[in-house]
Structure formats: C-alpha cells, structure tokens
Amino acid sequence: MSNITQLRCINCSRTYQPRPGFYTCPICGSTDGILDVEYDYDYINKSISRQSLASNREHSLWRYRPFLPVAQEGPLPPLRVGWSPLYRARRLGDELGLKELYIKDDGINPTGSLKDRPSAVAVARALAEGAKVVACSSTGNAASSLAGAAASVGLKAVIFVPGRAPQGKVAQLLIFGATVISVQGSYEDAFKLSAAAIAEHGWYNRNAAINPYLVEGKKTVCLEVAEQLNWEVPDWVVLSVGDGCTMAGAWKAWVDLKKAGWIDKLPRMLGVQAEGCCPITRAFREGTRVKPMPENTLADSIAVGVPRNPEKALRAVRDSGGTMINVSDEEILAAMRTLGRTSGVFGEPAGAAGTAGLIKAVREGIIKSGDKVVVLVTGNGLKDVANAIKAAGEPIRVEPSLEALKEALARYGK
C-alpha cells in the first residue's frame, strides 16, 4: 500500500512496516503496544483532492480510498457503507439554545451502525490477505456489521458475544449466516475467548481495539462530516465512547485532514460514557491508567468494562482540548425521546448517549450557544426495541369505537 509509510507504536514510538497479521508492537505487547497508521500525504494529495471529491459519485466510504489502509486497486465488499446524512438539527438546537447543531445519523448503514465502516475495511483487508474466516468479539454492533460484510463476499464469520447481547443484534448475526458463540459472561470474557480462538485457528482478527486498520475505517465518519460541512471545521464533535476506538477514529480523521493541508484547525472532542461503565472518563479525570469497571448500563454497545484501546481515545480528547462526560441510563432514555421527537432520528441507547452528553454539556456550560456542534448517532434504535419501549412508553390501548378513542385521548391529554 503505497499510501502508508509505516505503523507507529503509540507507547514507545517504534515504527514498523505493515504486514499481514501484524497488529501490535512486539516490544510493548498487545495491551500497551497499540499501533497508529501513518500516511504519505503527498501521495494522497496526488490521488485525491477536495475538488475531485466534489464530482465523485462514489457515495460510500470508498470515496476516501487514498486515506484508507486498503490497496488502491483490489476487491471491496459490495454493501454501500457510509455517506450517511448530516442533518441541520434546528428544532433540537433551538431547544438546547444552540445556534448551529448537526446530527450525523450513522444508523442508516447496512446493518444499522457506525461499525459497518471498520468492518468494511476489515473484510477488504481479509480478502487482500486471502483469509477464509474473519472473527471478532462484540457487544453486538461490530458483530452484526462483520457478519453482514462477510456474507456479502462469501467469507465465514465467527462471532463471540456476551450473553447479555440484545436479541435484535443476535438475530442479525444468525440471519447473515455467522457462527455465533454466546459467551456466558462479560464482554471481557468474550474478548479473551475470541483472542484465544483467533490465535489458535489463524482467523483474520476484526477486533478493532487490536487491529489498527479498523480505526481507519471509523475515521470515515468524520471525513464525511468535514466534506458535508464544506470543510468548515466544527467547534465540537460529540460521540459516545465504549472501548475508545470510535473516538480514536473520529479524531484521526481531523488530524489526517490537517496534515494533508485540507483544513486549518481541529475541533474539540467530547466523549460520552454511561455512568454505570465509565472507565475511560475516570482515567481522564484522574490522570491515571484505565482501571476495570462493571458493565452496568443498558447502553450495551458502550458497556466495555475493560476497554482495549483507551489510550488513543484519551489522547484524542486531551490533544483536542476536549473533555469527557458521563450520563445516567435515565438521561440516555430521555435523549432517545428528545432525539426522536425533535429530529426524527431513532437511536439505540449507545447511539443516543452522545446526544445525552450534548444536552448535559450545554446545561453545564461546557458547550456554548454560539458553538458549531456535530453529534454522532452511532446506532439505529431498531437494534434494541426493548429499551426503545422503555424510553418511549406503551401505546394508548382502546376498544374499537370512536367514543372509546375520545375518552382515551381526553384521559391522556392528547
């Protein structure tokens, strides 16, 4: 891949040349030796420009192919991933007192979440390396995205999920023909078992916290934001945080664009975690290493008690001059209602957690009324209908008569 110069360990700064199956720094180990992908920006600028994108009709993440760790010619999965809408959220902005608020709805991706982006990159790389089986552990969204992408090209997918994974997400996996291993334990248990199985069988590793190329897929969400805002950088980018990979990817997009000379400033990043599982927020506030926490939140996609990629996320927040904030499950459920009521966007709990954090950050004066803000909605509400009903409540039940309807509407003040 002539667009990549090297891989760099974020811990010791040693550099390595990319090669199949090489994911972490052998000196620092799999926990601390997470790698960054570094690019040849001169090469990128010869291959793509802001002007060329204006006439590019490839409305998917592959429009940014020179910014991605895939062969510039080679097989790609056919599902249309990316180029999700960026809405000007006027009603929600008015309600919060924000003059310029945008919602990036990534729940419209093929399997309903932002995780389709890294899975598309994973499958492209697996095809290039001649892999027959791809595998990962997941709380649900990474699993369904990998299963869908693998099915589209005929790869076998083996997925490890904790027993608490929502049925809607498990159903997707099974429909896509994946081999689904429901691990009767925590996400950490599922991760450890998947790592052991991947090492034992030599499967392609889609675990985003280990495989550095997958963060590059996640960054496409903010490459799109930049283009959709006509390259005007927002003041804040707000998103939910689980293991830290999405935050790392979102920040990497802005850094890459600035290094390529496409933008002249960087946004501040606001990371949002659930109060019941917030190890990265705690490490940010205390200035310490991440310590394990229980996975005690209904927002399953960000319920990661032992995050595997926290340092990139912490670095993103600190380097951007941003901050971290926690929200309760009740605030997440309320944000799901607010997001739907004001914007017509249906987010699952983890997908709407960013909106909950935005609401809280405005209330606490972190985000000001004149700031230009983009909030990412990372997953579709149909992923977790049980919690959607918990957020919205039950329908009004009536007998099939106009009189009964009138009485019910009056009783509920409708």
Strand order in the sheet with 4-9: 15-16, 4-9, 35-39
Q: Among 151, 195, 191, which Cα is nearest to 174's?
A: 151
Residue pair 337/392 in contact (Cβ under 8 Å)? The answer is yes
Tell me if 338 is assigned to a ligand binding site: no
d(CA 266, CA 251): 9
Which residues 6+ apart lie within 8 Å of 325 measured at CB? 270, 271, 272, 273, 281, 357, 360, 361, 364, 366
Q: Is the dihedral of CA 203, 207, 213, 219 positive or negative?
A: positive
Give CA–CA dist 125/206, Å, rounded: 10
Which H or E run contains 325?
A: strand 323-327
With a CB cutoff of 8 Å and minimum separation 6, the contacts of 47 are 3, 66, 72
Angle at 237 between CA 233 and CA 241, to 5 degrees: 150
User: Strands of 156-162's sheet, edge to edge?
Assistant: 179-183, 156-162, 133-137, 204-205
378 is in an annotated binding site: yes
Shortest CA distance to 140 belongs to which of 117, 177, 167, 176?
167
Antiparallel, parallel or unpaired: β 35-39 and 4-9: antiparallel
Q: Residue 130 and residue 2: Cα distance in Å, rounded?
A: 20
Q: Which residues contact 107 (CB under 8 A, 6 or more apart)?
A: 84, 113, 345, 346, 347, 348, 351, 377, 378, 379, 380, 381
> Does the CA dihedral 339-341-343-345 come out positive or negative?
positive
Tokens of 155: 């790869």
Check: CB of residue 322 under 8 Å from CB of residue 268: yes
Dist CA 221 CA 90 (whole Å): 21
Pair type for strands 204-205 and 133-137 = parallel
Known binding-site residue numbers: 141, 378
| Positions at the binding site for pyridoxal 5'-phosphate | 141, 378
